[in-house]
Amino acid sequence: MPDGEHRGDDLTAGARFAPSVPARQEPFPLKGCGALDWGMQSRLARIFRPESGRTVMLAIDHGYFQGPTTGLERVDLSIVPLLPYADALMTTRGMVRSTVPAAARIPIVLRASGGPSVLRELSDERLAVSMEDAARINAAAVAVQVFIGGEHETQSVRNMTRLVDAGQRYGIPVLAVTAVGKELTRDARYLRLATRICAELGAHFVKTYYCAADFDTVTAACPVPLVMAGGTKLPELEALTMAYRAVEEGAAGVDMGRNIFQSRDPVAMIRAVGAVVHESAKPDDAYDQYLREPHPAG
């Protein structure tokens, strides 16, 4: 006899089934995410905080083409202490396996393209990681450089589309990283072109640079989340101001490297960036927070 029938209760009908209440379905509320498979949405929800819809990614993948960058000579000493304050870590599989603690539980955005060093033509990249290995690492996403307007533009776009096809099979999102060469102007017209091409051809989110004029048109024209690249090292207040303007103008967060790990106090800086991105703190307030942090001696 089913449980409850001996008491005269009818547990198979009534409020327990809530027949008048429509079934709830809650896709992850991220731009361009609604039609993605559950696994894709789940991985994106590890990168972008559900409560803010934004992310503070920490980029430390510079070594894949330029070797031990200043601040990244010893990732175990300089970067691992920052992991509790980052929403995701953009890095390489070599650094993941050699240095990043598995117990840190940090979502990994895995660099998947590479080839030339800083001594050669950088746009001549190939895919350097298989999606199978990304799955073994439990990557939350994979990243590929796209050189719109570069010498090897078509090849880099092809790298991205091959990665997107593999990502669709494995449920792993693809981050397209728009690269701006020395000969290209980092203005809204170029950034709209580069980011839109990446989104149209399947990238699930895009990383690009900030421009002072009309950046809101860049984010508006991109149908998937756009994350601002930190770029070269700036004074802390300038970097915080750039991050603030980017998110106020539609960016879904930042992917900063040198502006954090080359700061005088990287922990204080990443915490200040987090206040800007997730709490909409004004740049001056975030900078005051940075200054109030106890800075390391020396």
Annotated active-site positions, please?
207
Give the separation between CA 158 and CA 278, rounded to whole angstroms.
Answer: 34
CA distance 195 to 205: 9
Q: Give the integer Cα–Cα distance in Å for 226 and 205.
A: 6
Distance CA 278, CA 87 (A): 11
3 state DSSP class of 18: coil
* Cα–Cα distance measured from residue 165 to residue 172, given in angstroms and rounded to the nearest whole number: 10
Distances (CA, A) of 114 to 61, 122, 129, 281: 11, 9, 9, 36
Structure tokens at 116: 């030339």
Cβ-contact 226, 257 below 8 angstroms: no
Question: For helices 236-248 and 266-279, what crossing angle results, to 10°?
Answer: 20
| End-to-end Cα, the chain, rounded Å | 76
How many beta carbons lie within 10 A of that of residue 41, not counting itself? 20
Tokens of 125: 């990249």
CA distance 176 to 145: 6
Q: 134 exposed, middle or buried (CB, 10 Å; 0-12, 13-18, 19+)?
A: buried
Structural contact between residues 204 and 32, judged by C-beta atoms closer than 8 angstroms: yes
